[in-house]
Amino acid sequence: MFDIWKPEIFHGRRKEKNFFEGWYFKVVDHSEKNACAVIPGVSITGDPSKSHAFVMFLDARAQRMRYFRYPLDELKASDKKFELSIGGSFFSSERMNLTLGQGRGLITARISFKGTYPWPVKLLSPGVMGWYAFVPGMECYHGILSMDHSIEGFIEVDGTRTDFTGGRGYIEKDWGVSMPSSWIWMQTNHFDREGVSLSGSIAKIPWFGSYFTGYIFGFLYDKKLYKFTAYSGAKVTLLDVTADNTRIRLENKTYRLDIDADRSKGVDLPAPKLGEMTAKVNESLNSSINVDLLKKKGSGTELIYSGTGRNAGLEFVGNITELIKGLKK
């Protein structure tokens, strides 16, 4: 029960089938010439031969993804805080140590995270899901462990060591039965100054035999998190998606957030369906996102911030018509 207020910890204990859980660590070095995503997780299908733990390693600049598979009993997790080990690798909100593969295919890392900024957890709104976190049996739950933070340490791939000290990082996670059949996801925390970060998603949410389109966007600026979410009454007033561009406008009573995202070439990653890693999602870590945050004033607006986020993660999966229709429900 109290796990609801700890979205960061492992939720897969006592799950026997149709369950997945994955944490997403993004790290970009100071030069921005190196960008990686590391995704530890678990796939529980009910079939012992298919259920497994895993660590995905995406080298965004090399356009290469490696998938390391482990028996379930090689996953160890604390039930009190986010501390997770899979094989010889360790993950928490403070550090990430990797030992993946062997020989010429060896990947090692010793990375620490400083100044993390998690989405606030409150009594009636336990994290980014808001009150939906209390709804049992949802297809997918979501958590943001850090909108932005600095990183120290190194990653070594195939004998080549890269210093990531002075770079920026981001951490989130998902867990449940399946990822949505249609969704848009975006994230960037490389703007013209440190401490600015955008994270957002729009997704088809199954709901008692039907569905609606849910959305969760947060924009961190000047140490304040501006929230635009379906459960708080914000509205999506523009959604336009093409093969290489996504435009979104979100509004609440006080603020407006305009997003114009240009997508670059990505890499296919395995994604969960009924707990099994059989779906695919194409992810880029080299996209760019233009963001305008405005405050409403009478019949007009006042610009608070305008900037372009680099090294952006961007995904679009499924049917945009389905998402637009669900916004009208």
DSSP category for residue 93: S
pLDDT for position 1? 59
Which residue from 239, 139, 137, 222 is spatially nearest to 186, judged by alpha carbons? 239
How many CB atoms neighbour CB 222 within 10 A?
A: 10
Q: What's the one-letter identity of residue 84?
A: L
At 1 the three-state DSSP class reads: coil
How many CB atoms neighbour CB 300 within 10 A?
A: 8
- The phi, psi pair for 321, rounded to 5°, reads -60, -40
Which residue from 117, 131, 103 is spatially nearest to 5, judged by alpha carbons? 131
pLDDT for position 89? 98
Residues 6+ apart with CB under 8 A from 189: 147, 148, 168, 170, 196, 197, 198, 220, 309
Q: What is the token pair recorded at 138? A: 């949802």
Q: What is the pTM of this model?
A: 0.96
Q: Which residue has the tokens 């700890």?
A: 6
Q: Taken in order 78, 83, 86, 88, is the CA torsion positive or negative?
A: negative
Q: What is the token pair recorded at 147? A: 């909108």
Range of the domain at 317: 3-328
- The phi, psi pair for 9, rounded to 5°, reads -80, 175
Summarised one tens digit per residue, pLDDT across range 91-116 is 999 999 999 998 778 999 999 999 99
pLDDT for position 72? 96
Q: Taken in order 77, 79, 82, 83, is the CA torsion positive or negative?
A: negative
Q: Please tell me the distance from the alpha carbon of residue 26 to that of residue 169, in angstroms, as a whole number.
A: 5
What spatial distance separates the first Cα and last Cα of the chain, rounded to whole Å? 31
Q: What is the pLDDT along the chain (329 residues), one digit of tens a residue?
A: 579 999 999 999 989 999 999 999 999 999 999 999 999 999 999 899 999 999 999 999 888 999 999 999 999 999 999 999 999 999 999 999 999 998 778 999 999 999 999 999 999 999 999 999 999 999 999 999 999 999 999 999 999 999 999 999 999 999 999 999 999 999 999 999 999 999 999 999 999 889 999 999 999 999 999 999 999 999 999 999 998 899 999 999 999 999 999 988 788 888 888 788 888 888 888 999 999 999 999 999 999 999 999 999 999 889 999 999 999 87
Number of domains composing the chain? 1
The rounded Cα 208 to chain-centroid distance in angstroms is 26
